[in-house]
Amino acid sequence: MVMLLSMLVISLLFRFQAEDSAASASVNGEQAWAAAMSGVEEALRVASTAAPGANDWQDNPGAFRERLVFDDGGERWFFSVFTPSATPGEVRYGLADEASKLNVNVAAGASLEKLPRVSPAMAAALVDFLDPDDIPEPEGAEQEYYSALARPYTIRNGPLASLDELLLVRGFTAEILHGAAAASANLTNEEPSTASANTRVTRGLSQFLTVASYEFNTDADGWDLTNLNDPASPLPSTDRLPAAVTNFISALRTNGVTLSHPAELLEATLLIKTAKGAMTEISSGVGKAELAAVLELFTASDYYYTDGLINVNTASATVLATLPGVDEALAETIVSARGALGAGRRTTTAWLYQEGVLDAAKFKALAPLLTSRSEQFTFCVIGYGLPSGRFRVLEVGIDVAGGDRRVTYLRDVTRRGLPFPIAGEAEGQVTKLESPSAKVKRSSQLPAPNFQYTPSSKLPIPRRASNFPHANLDSEQATSLVLGPWIWGLFSSEVCHG
C-alpha cells in the first residue's frame, strides 16, 4: 500500500511539474509573440513617418536592433526587425521595400527574361498563367497544359496574390524562387526547369520579385495631382514654375494635345498657330531646374493608383536592368550615382536627368516605369526573452500608402529556428540566445546570465501577451489569420490592396 501511495504521489508531482512547465512555456511563447508584434508596430511607425526621399527604414539598427519592450523583473523581452542582406548569410536591421522589386503582375515577358535563371519558356509560361485568354505564347503554357498533368489544377488567369503562386507556373521551382534551402519543399507539378544555373543567386528569385507594389496618384503629402490632359483641372499657383511652363500646358490643352506622362514636358516644343494664322514653335520651359517640380505637381492619368512602379532610389542593379533599354552597365551607373545624393535630391526621379545619368530622350522613355517612393514593405521580426531564450519569428508585410497603416501579411516561421545568433552583454562576456532545446542541453554548464543591456529607448508593451489569442495561426502555412482584438487594431477596416 505504501508503495502504491508513493507511486501515486510521484505521478501527481510529475504531472503537476509537467503542467507547470507547459504553462510557463505557453506564457513565455505568448510574451515572445507580443514582443515581436511590438516590432511590427515600430516598423509601421518608421515606414509611415519617413520623409520624402529618405530611406530611414532601410538600415536602421537604432530603431530595429535589440529593442527592449518590457522588463518583468525576471525576464527582459526584446525585438529585432531584419531582412536578409545582399551578402548571403548576413542580415540588415531594416525593411525591404516592394517597390525595389519587379512586380510580376505587370511585368512584360521581356523584363522577366532578364532576371537570373528565368528562361524564355518560363517567362512565357508566366505570361500565359496571368493573362485572361487561352492562347499560349510561343514556348508558353495555357490551361490545356495544366489540365493534362497527373494532378491537374486551374490556372490563375489574373494577377497573383502571393509569390508562392509562382510555384504553380511551369518551370518555377522552390529552389529557383526561394533558394537552395527551399528545394526540399517543392511539391508542385512543374516540369524540370531548363534554366541555366547562376551561382550569383543564392536567395532565389523572390529577392527580385513582388506582387504587392503600387502607388496612389497623389503627391508625397497625399494631395491630388494636376492632370495635364484635363482642361478642368486648374493649374497649380506656385512660384516653382515659370510662366513659360504654365503657358505651354495651356497651349497643349487648347490644341487638344495629350501626354502620357509629365516627363514628356522635358525639353518639349509645340507648333501652334498665332492669331494671324502663322505657325510658330514654343518651348515647354522645362529643363533641369523645373523637372522636379513638374514631376511633383502633375500627372497625365485618371487612374487612382498605378501598379508596379520601380523605385529608382532603392532597386538593385539586377532589377533596374530589367527595364527596357537598361543594360547592366547603366544599371550599375544608376546605383552608383544615387549613393552620392542626399534625401532632398531623391524626392523625385528627376535626378536621373539632372545628374547626367540619362539624357532627355532616355529619361522620358523610362520615367513612366519609375518612382521615388516606397509604401509597401516586407521584413522579419524576432521577439525574444532573456535569459529564458524563448523566441518567436514572424514574416510580415505592411502597407502605409495613403497615410493608412495596415498589416497585409503575417506568417509565424518560428519552427525554422533562430535566423542568427542574438547576444546580450553580461559582465564582459557574450551569451548567445539559442533555441529552447539547445539551451536545455547545455544549461547545466552555463552560469546564470546577468544581462546589462541598455536600449536606446524603452517601448511600452502593447498589452499582456495573454490577450493575444492566435491559436488558429498555422505556422509556415497560414496567410489568413484569426487574431485577437489588439492584432486587428493594426489592420485597416478596408480591404487591403493586393
Residues 475-490: pLDDT tens digits? 343 333 333 333 333 3
| 8 A C-beta contact, residue 414 and residue 25 | no
**Tens digit of pLDDT for each residue in 455-477?**
333 343 333 233 222 223 333 43
Q: How is residue 391 annotated by DSSP?
A: E
Over 70: is that where the pLDDT of 338 sits? yes
316 against 186, higher pLDDT? 316
Over 80: is that where the pLDDT of 137 sits? yes
Residue 446: pLDDT band by 50, 70, 90 thresholds?
Answer: very low
146 against 466, higher pLDDT? 146
> What integer is the mean pLDDT of 305-332?
97
Cite the beta strand spans of 38-168 per DSSP E: 67-71, 76-84, 91-92, 96-97, 102-103
- C-alpha grid cell, residue 435: 533555441
- Given this model, what pLDDT does residue 377 score? 98
91 against 5, higher pLDDT? 91
> What integer is the mean pLDDT of 163-185?
85
Over 50: is that where the pLDDT of 343 sits? yes
The rounded distance, in Å, linking the Cα atoms of 9 and 14 is 9
Over 70: is that where the pLDDT of 157 sits? yes
Over 90: is that where the pLDDT of 494 sits? no
Residue 421: pLDDT band by 50, 70, 90 thresholds?
Answer: confident
Cite the beta strand spans of 370-457 per DSSP E: 370-371, 376-386, 391-399, 406-412, 422-426, 429-433
For 10, residues 6+ apart whose C-beta sits below 8 A from its C-beta are none
Q: Quote the distance between the C-alpha of residue 363 and its chain's center.
A: 26
Helices (H), 149-210: 174-178
- Given this model, what pLDDT does residue 277 score? 76
185-189, 237-241, 256-260, 270-274: lowest mean pLDDT where? Answer: 185-189
Over 60: is that where the pLDDT of 14 sits? no
Residue 7: pLDDT band by 50, 70, 90 thresholds?
Answer: low
- Given this model, what pLDDT does residue 224 score? 92
The rounded distance, in Å, linking the Cα atoms of 353 and 363 is 6
- Given this model, what pLDDT does residue 399 score? 97
75-89, 111-125, 305-319, 389-403: lowest mean pLDDT where? Answer: 75-89
Residue 420: pLDDT band by 50, 70, 90 thresholds?
Answer: confident
- Given this model, what pLDDT does residue 229 score? 96
- Given this model, what pLDDT does residue 498 score? 33
Average model confidence (pLDDT) across the chain: 81
Question: Where do the structural domains in the chain lie, given as residue ranges?
Answer: 35-99+375-488, 108-210, 226-299, 313-371
**Tens digit of pLDDT for each residue in 30-44?**
999 999 999 999 999
Classify residue 20 as exposed, middle or buried by CB count within 10 Å of its CB (0-12, 13-18, 19+).
exposed
Over 60: is that where the pLDDT of 417 sits? yes
Output the pTM of the full model: 0.78
- Given this model, what pLDDT does residue 182 score? 56
The rounded distance, in Å, linking the Cα atoms of 56 and 62 is 10
The rounded distance, in Å, linking the Cα atoms of 59 and 416 is 24
- Given this model, what pLDDT does residue 462 score? 36
- C-alpha grid cell, residue 94: 531594416
- Given this model, what pLDDT does residue 84 score? 84
325 against 469, higher pLDDT? 325
The rounded distance, in Å, linking the Cα atoms of 307 and 37 is 28
- Given this model, what pLDDT does residue 11 score? 65
- Given this model, what pLDDT does residue 422 score? 75
- Given this model, what pLDDT does residue 431 score? 40
Classify residue 187 as exposed, middle or buried by CB count within 10 Å of its CB (0-12, 13-18, 19+).
exposed
- Given this model, what pLDDT does residue 187 score? 42
**Tens digit of pLDDT for each residue in 236-260?**
877 888 999 999 999 999 999 999 9
1 against 484, higher pLDDT? 1
| 8 A C-beta contact, residue 39 and residue 71 | no
Over 70: is that where the pLDDT of 110 sits? yes
The rounded distance, in Å, linking the Cα atoms of 405 and 492 is 7
| 8 A C-beta contact, residue 236 and residue 288 | no
| 8 A C-beta contact, residue 266 and residue 364 | yes
Domain 108-210, classified CATH 3.30.70, yes or no: no
Measured CA distances, 92 to 13, 35, 187, 343, 387 (Å):
47, 19, 31, 20, 24
- Given this model, what pLDDT does residue 426 score? 38
Residue 272: pLDDT band by 50, 70, 90 thresholds?
Answer: confident
